[in-house]
Amino acid sequence: MQRRQQNGPPTTVKLLPVMSEAVFQQDGAPAHNAARTQEWCRANLPGFWEKGVWPGNSPDLSPIENLWAIVQGELDKMEPATSEQTLVSNLQKAWRRISAETLDNLMCGMPECMRDCV
């Protein structure tokens, strides 16, 4: 909550004085590297860095990486899934165990992470 009060809601925070100067970051997921995705990004995102330009491992700039680690930690507390249905159920349980405060901290902490990296 303290970060939200300091930085505001994640959807309204301006990380830069001119947001159009922001650089759009993607990870190496196959869907992000697809030719069609890359084409759309080039056409629609003025600050888009093409595949291969962004530094290889930058979890500090991606709150989803921390979220996946939290989800994995919750999954590790459960019996391993032996079917697709069990996997889906376990993922849903893991997600429900993550508090709104944790999600809020991940998002509201982004301006601080960005400032630290700059």
Torsion angles phi and psi, residue 67, rounded to 5: -65, -45
Residues 26, 55 contacting (CB under 8 angstroms): no
Q: What are residue 10's phi and psi, to 5 degrees? A: -55, -30
For the segment 7-64, what is each residue's pLDDT rounded down to a tens digit? Answer: 666 556 565 566 666 777 677 778 888 889 888 888 877 778 777 776 655 666 677 7
Q: What is the largest CA-CA distance in the chain?
A: 50
Q: Which amino acid is at 5?
A: Q
Number of domain units in the chain: 1
| pTM of this structure | 0.52
Cα-flanking dihedrals φ and ψ of residue 24, to 5°? -85, 125
Distance CA 9, CA 88 (A): 30
What average pLDDT does the chain have? 79
- Tell me the residue length of the chain: 118
Distance from C-alpha of 104 to C-alpha of 3, rounded to nearest angstrom: 8
Residue 107, SS3? helix
- Show the domain range for 95: 2-117
Percentage of the chain beyond pLDDT 70 is: 73
